[in-house]
Amino acid sequence: MSPILLIPGLACTAELFAPQIPALWPRGPVTIASTLSGETMAEIAAAILHEAPPRFALGGVSMGGYVSLEILRQGPERVLKLALIDTTARPDTPEMSRLRRASVAQARSGGFEPVLRQSTPNLLHPDHRADAALIETHVRMGLSVGVEAFARQQAAIIGRIDSRPHLPAITVPTTVMVGDRDLLTPPDRAEEMAAAIPGARLVVIADSGHASTLEQPDAVNRALLDWLDA
């Protein structure tokens, strides 16, 4: 059994993977990385590598996917397998960077909780946007991360590099997963990554938005177990 290291997304905690931990645990010890240290994607990745097991299967959601790709650049010999979930290899667009800076400014001036409540429904499949439990989970995670860490994470995301040129060099077994109604990192981004990574498997999660680990945990768990067993 190999250790499994999972990296949460922006303003998320280990709770993002609450449905996955018991399902994956029989395949190996599961660690949820902290993304609270570091000012840049490279620094966040280095901090996680410093605390990580010597070798591990690596999975990341959204920002956690950006960090995972950076970890592969810094310590490729330590990664046994890779799962990229609801993420993209592309850099930020100018419009997305503008929206991120505006979100941080609003969180600092008008309160973080309203920002989280306003943004969370956009993460979800249309059928889930009124799901109070999903919304409260995301608000709770964000408040636990806090405004300053949220601001650091947003800055790191804005400054991340274009990872597309590095994808063909990935040699570990890779699964790319995406919700079929993910508006933030839509299926075409997942298709792009899966096509560029040699031998990668693409899994589209039905009836899910950007928060697939919580929206469709059973489907995500099945895909991750297949990934670990491959």
Gap between the Cα atoms of 180 and 139, Å rounded: 23
Gap between the Cα atoms of 71 and 48, Å rounded: 8
Domain count, the chain: 1
We report the CATH number of the domain holding residue 71 as 3.40.50.1820
Question: For residue range 34-90, what is the model confidence (pLDDT) as tens digits?
Answer: 999 999 999 999 999 999 999 999 999 999 999 999 999 999 999 999 999 999 999
Residue 32 lies in a domain: yes
Gap between the Cα atoms of 112 and 103, Å rounded: 9
Residue 110 confidence class, pLDDT cut points 50, 70, 90: confident
- In eight-state DSSP terms, residue 61 is E
Amino acid, single-letter form, for residue 99: L
> Do 11 and 211 touch, CB atoms closer than 8 A?
no
Question: For residue range 143-182, what is the model confidence (pLDDT) as tens digits?
Answer: 999 999 999 999 999 999 999 999 999 999 999 999 999 9
Both tokens of residue 137?
A: 């989970």
Place of tokens 């039905």: 206
Residue 76 lies in a domain: yes
* % residues pLDDT > 90 (the chain): 99
Residue 66 lies in a domain: yes
- The radius of gyration computed from the CA coordinates of the chain, to the nearest angstrom, equals 16
**pLDDT computed for residue 76 by the predictor:** 98
Gap between the Cα atoms of 172 and 161, Å rounded: 21
Residue 80 lies in a domain: yes
Q: Flag whether pLDDT at 124 surpasses 90.
A: yes
Residue 36 lies in a domain: yes
> Do 103 and 119 touch, CB atoms closer than 8 A?
yes
Residue 125 lies in a domain: no
Residue 70 belongs to what domain range?
A: 4-92+155-229
Residue 169 lies in a domain: yes
pTM of the model: 0.97
Nearest to 117 by CA among 91, 95, 136: 136
Residue 130 lies in a domain: no
Gap between the Cα atoms of 176 and 185, Å rounded: 12
Residue 205 confidence class, pLDDT cut points 50, 70, 90: very high
Gap between the Cα atoms of 59 and 82, Å rounded: 6
